[in-house]
Amino acid sequence: MARRTGRRPGNPDTREAILGAARAAFAERGFDAASIRSIAQAAGVDPALVHHYFGSKDQLFLAAMNAPLDPGALLPAVLAGAPDGLGERLVRTFLGVWDSPAGAAAVALLRSAVSNEWTARLLREFVVTQVLRRVLDHLDVDPAELPLRGSLVATQLIGLATTRYVLRLEPVASAPPETLVAALAPTVQRYLFGDLG
CB atoms within 10 A of CB 165: 18
Residue 61 or 191: which CB sits closer to its own copies? 191
Q: Is 156 in the site for its own copies (CB under 8 A)?
A: yes
Nearest approach, Cβ of 159 to its own copies (angstroms)? 2
Q: Is 5 in the site for its own copies (CB under 8 A)?
A: no
CA dist 126 and 103 (Å) reads 16
Exposed, middle or buried: residue 45 (CB in 10 Å: 0-12, 13-18, 19+)?
A: buried
Q: Is 151 in the site for its own copies (CB under 8 A)?
A: yes
Residue 42 or 175: which CB sits closer to its own copies? 175
Instruction: Name the one range near its own copies by CB under 8 A: 20-28, 96-104, 134-142, 164-172.
Output: 164-172
Nearest residue to 138 via CA among 196, 68, 90, 187: 90
- Which positions from 72 through 111 interact with its own copies, judged by CB under 8 A? 110-111
Q: Is 148 in the site for its own copies (CB under 8 A)?
A: yes
DSSP 170-196: TTTTTS-HHHHHHHHHHHHHHHHHS--
Helix, strand, coil share of the chain (percent; to 5): 75, 0, 25
Residues that bind its own copies (CB under 8 A): 110-111, 113-115, 120, 123-124, 127-128, 147-148, 151-152, 154-160, 162-164, 166-173, 175, 179, 181-187, 190-191, 196-197
